Structure 1
Amino acid sequence: MSPAELLGFLLLAGVAAYAQTLTGFAFGLITMGGIALTGLLSLPDAAVLVSALTFVNAIQMLLKGWRDVSWRDFRLVMATSVPMLFAGYAMLEWLADTRADILRLILGIIIVVSSLQLALRPEPLRQKSGPASFLFFGSIAGLMGGMFSTAGPPLVYHFYRQPMSLVMIRETLVTIFALNAVFRISLVGFSGNLPTGSAWTGLLAIPVVMAATHTARRWPPPVSPATMRRIVFVLLFLSGVSLGAPSIVNLLK
């Protein structure tokens, strides 16, 4: 990356980390959507960097919060998430070189659907869902994580409907994201497709992400959580449409 591109990536990662701290998710969606729109990096390289930044952020949070993890739900999700992560990564490799428009369209659809999920809060359940539901949502998250390192939306939707404490939900999700990031980075490494050259300068975003997370916690903006969710919804929705619409036009041609 050139100095200008690196600065753009650092700003994008900082905004994404700030939004995720306030809303519960959106780091991967904002980062991947911004990169796809601006062309700062290839989507496969960007997904590796997002996985690395996700892992760093998760470890920072779990140093104190690991005791609140719901290990039963964690095991259920990981049982299907890991195999589908491999499937998602294989799909990314298949589409990355010769079907770039399809890849951008899929990412655009994911971002739009996730933005709608953010705008419409799910109704809480009276009783906890059965094991099959955790396996199902884990499989969807694994597929999305393998393709774009954006496993959050389906799991956030499912977990926040459960009659569980917010602390337990947050720490369980963070643990899932951390382990998924490890598997994804390992998979990319074993396949010999790690980023090369200047793409690794994107890791300079680590202190930016940590600083943005701390800032959002210490000095949240003077707006209500509902207003912040609407702002993020608009940003995600517009980026998803901007990403998917040109791909549809190119595919129709």
Structure 2
Amino acid sequence: MSAAELLGFLLLTGAAAYLQTLTGFAFGLITMGGVGLTGLLSLPDAAMIVSVLSLVNAAQMLAKGWRDVAWREFWLVMAASIPLLFVGYWLLEWLADTRADLLRLLLGFAIVVSSLQLARKPEPLAWKSGDPSFLFFGGIAGLMGGMFSTAGPPLVYHFYRQPMPMVKVRETLVTVFALNAVFRIGLVAASGSLPSGSTWSGLLAIPAVMGATYAARRWPPPLSPKTMRRMVFGLLFLSGVSLAAPALAPVVRGYL
């Protein structure tokens, strides 16, 4: 990356980390959407960097919050998430080599659907959901995490409906994202698909992520949670549409 591209990536990841700390989600979606729009990195390389940065953000958040994790629900999610993460990663590698336009379209579609889902506050349930539901949503999250390092939306939707304290929901989600990132980084390393050359300069975003995480905890904006959700929704929706629209025509032509 050039100096200008690196600066843009630092600003993008800092903003994503700030919003992730305030809301418990959106880091991967915002970063991958921004990368897809600007072309700063290839999508597979960007997903790898996002995994590393997500792990940094999660570790910083969990330094004090790990005691609040809902461990039973966490392990149910991980039992389904890890196998599907492998499937998602395989799909990413296959599409990146053969159908780059389709890959961009899928990413844009995933961001748009996620933004629409996050736009409405999930209706709380009277009773905690059964174990199969955590396995189901964990599997969807694993598939999205394997492809784009964006495991958040399905889990955010499911967990925020549960009759659980918000601190427990937030810390459980962050722990899931952290362990998914560890497995995904290990998978990339084992497959020999690690980014090369100047791509690793993206890791200079680690201080930006750490600084934004600290700033969000120390100086949160004077905005209501509802306003924050609307802002994140608008940002994600526009980035998803902007990413998917240019890729739609080439994909359609390819099937005609």
TM-score range, shorter chain: over 0.9
Per-residue deviation at 1:225? Answer: 2.0
User: Partner of 2:227 in structure 1?
Assistant: 227
Indicate yes or no: 2:240 matched with 1:249. Answer: no
The percentage of aligned residue pairs carrying the same residue is 76
Code of the residue aligned with 1:12 in structure 2: it is: L
Code of the residue aligned with 2:164 in structure 1: it is: M
For residues 74 and 232 of structure 1, the distance between their equivalents in structure 2, rounded to whole angstroms, comes to 25
Aligned pairs for 1:129-208 within 5 A: 129-208=129-208
Per-residue deviation at 1:26? Answer: 0.5
- Name the SS of the counterpart of 2:127 in structure 1: coil
- Name the SS of the counterpart of 1:128 in structure 2: coil
- Name the SS of the counterpart of 1:150 in structure 2: coil
User: Partner of 1:61 in structure 2?
Assistant: 61
Indicate yes or no: 2:28 matched with 1:17. Answer: no
User: Partner of 2:39 in structure 1?
Assistant: 39
Question: What is the RMSD of the two structures over their aligned residues, measured on CA atoms?
Answer: 0.9
For residues 21 and 97 of structure 1, the distance between their equivalents in structure 2, rounded to whole angstroms, comes to 34
- Unmatched segments (≥5 aa) in structure 1: none
For residues 234 and 69 of structure 1, the distance between their equivalents in structure 2, rounded to whole angstroms, comes to 30
Per-residue deviation at 1:122? Answer: 0.5
- Name the SS of the counterpart of 2:161 in structure 1: coil
Deviations 1:13-52 (A, max 9, x none): 0111112122221100000000000000000000011000
Number of aligned residues: 253
- Name the SS of the counterpart of 2:220 in structure 1: coil
- Name the SS of the counterpart of 1:163 in structure 2: coil
Indicate yes or no: 2:105 matched with 1:105. Answer: yes
- Unmatched segments (≥5 aa) in structure 2: none
For residues 206 and 239 of structure 1, the distance between their equivalents in structure 2, rounded to whole angstroms, comes to 23
- Name the SS of the counterpart of 2:88 in structure 1: helix
For residues 64 and 21 of structure 1, the distance between their equivalents in structure 2, rounded to whole angstroms, comes to 14
For residues 104 and 159 of structure 1, the distance between their equivalents in structure 2, rounded to whole angstroms, comes to 28
TM-score by length of 1: 0.98
Deviations 1:53-74 (A, max 9, x none): 1111111122211111111111
Deviations 1:79-133 (A, max 9, x none): 1100000000000011002201110111011100111122111000000000000
Code of the residue aligned with 1:17 in structure 2: it is: A
Per-residue deviation at 1:169? Answer: 0.9
For residues 138 and 212 of structure 1, the distance between their equivalents in structure 2, rounded to whole angstroms, comes to 28
Deviates more, 1:83-92 or 1:220-229: 220-229
User: Partner of 2:7 in structure 1?
Assistant: 7
User: Partner of 2:240 in structure 1?
Assistant: 240
Code of the residue aligned with 1:64 in structure 2: it is: K
For residues 52 and 39 of structure 2, the distance between their equivalents in structure 1, rounded to whole angstroms, comes to 20
For residues 252 and 140 of structure 1, the distance between their equivalents in structure 2, rounded to whole angstroms, comes to 26
Indicate yes or no: 2:103 matched with 1:115. Answer: no
For residues 115 and 95 of structure 1, the distance between their equivalents in structure 2, rounded to whole angstroms, comes to 23
TM-score by length of 2: 0.97
